[in-house]
Amino acid sequence: MPARITEAALRARILEQAEARQLAQLAAEGTVTAVGLLAIRKTHRIEPGLAVGLARHLDRIETAVALLPLWHASEFESVFNDWNPNRCRPDAADPPAMPGELFDALLNASSCRSPGF
């Protein structure tokens, strides 16, 4: 008799095999949670797009902010860029405002890691 796989185990396998863009999209759709990050971290480097997807849900902003220490300072700009993927299209609608908690954490983290001028 084949072993039964639980929903959590199946979800973990799917997340482990997804590509970075897919993970960001799944996070934006609300599929990826803090628990899912454990499975993702086993096989993937956590990308800024994933944090953006998480931060689009108010109950996951804290999780997105907790990912900032995983990146080099040069990657913080990617979070701003990924927040508004249509920034180069003049006819695009304005994106929702970036949550203040994420914005402040990005500014704080980037100022702490930038060389003084």
For 45-102, the pLDDT digits (tens) are 999 999 999 999 999 999 999 999 988 888 888 898 888 877 667 777 777 889 999 9
| 69 CB neighbour count, 10 Å cutoff | 8
Which is it for the CA torsion 53, 82, 89, 108, positive or negative?
positive
More confident residue, 2 or 97: 97
Q: The tokens of 78 are what?
A: 């990617």
Pick the closest to residue 83 from 53, 46, 45, 47 (CA basis): 53
Q: Is the pTM of this model over 0.75?
A: yes
Q: The tokens of 67 are what?
A: 């990912």
Per-residue pLDDT at 51: 93
* Residue pLDDT, tens place only, 21-43: 999 999 999 988 888 888 899 89
> Cα torsion for 111, 34, 51, 69, to the nearest 10°?
30
Contact 98, 84 (CB under 8 A): no
Per-residue pLDDT at 12: 84
Q: What is the per-residue DSSP string for 45-109?
A: PPPHHHHHHHHTSGGGHHHHHHTGGGS-GGGHHHHHHHH-TTTT-TTSPPPPPPPHHHHHHHHHH
